[in-house]
Homo-oligomer: A and B are copies of this chain.
């Protein structure tokens, strides 16, 4: 039986560039005690698998300060208030981070990055027949290498631990299981 946690108060401890740190206090239905949860309130996220007509995934390598190392990922980022929708945000991030674009974009799924202490969602998309349309437009905190990875190599890169970002793993999981596979000509 799922019992309600009664909210007592919600306080913003500090604002940061990409999240607000909140302390939200509830009464535990099991013990009756007040208990403070620390929550990161942030915008929704998006990521997107861009696939060329010859079955290469347009991936990015970049420095990730969290792990002080370089990663292999797909494009993605925050949904800005000006984007209008997660799909438009994903397309914008794909264009900015890789210089590739397509208007054939399909939804793959949604995940909660961490419902225990983050309020946001990550929406994942697939872009078919992407083409290079111009230069990258990078933010000040970005330095991104674009690399074209054959689609058939992705499973190996996951098994080898070259792709480790949980939300990128989610994206490929959905893609491999989805109807979108059938939309890739010649697959």
Contact A28 B143 (CB under 8 A): yes
How many residues belonging to A are interface residues under a CB distance threshold of 8 Å? 61
A69: CB under 8 A from chain B?
Answer: yes
Give the CA-CA distance A21 to B164 in the complex, in Å: 23
Contact A38 B61 (CB under 8 A): no
Across the interface, name the chain B residue whose C-beta is closest to A112.
B164
A164 vs B164: C-alpha distance when bound (angstroms)? 18
Instruction: Please provide the chain A residues from 1 to 48 with a CB less than 8 Å away from any CB of chain B in the complex.
Output: 1-5, 7, 13-14, 16-19, 21, 24, 26, 28-31, 33, 35, 37-40
* Stretch of A49-57, A93-101, A167-175 at the chain-chain interface: A167-175
Given A66-B118, A116-B65; A1-B141 close (CB under 8 Å)? no
B173 touches A169 (CB 8 A): yes
Contact check, A143 vs B63: say whether CB atoms are below 8 A apart.
Answer: no
**Does B65 contact A1, Cβ atoms closer than 8 Å?**
no
Report chain B residues within 8 Å CB of A141. 28, 35, 37
Contacts A21-B21, A33-B140, A166-B167 known; A145 to B71 CB distance under 8 Å?
A: no
Would you give 16 A-B contacts (Cβ < 8 Å), ordered by A? A3-B143, A7-B68, A18-B117, A26-B63, A28-B143, A30-B142, A33-B140, A39-B66, A66-B112, A66-B114, A66-B115, A67-B112, A110-B161, A112-B164, A115-B165, A166-B166
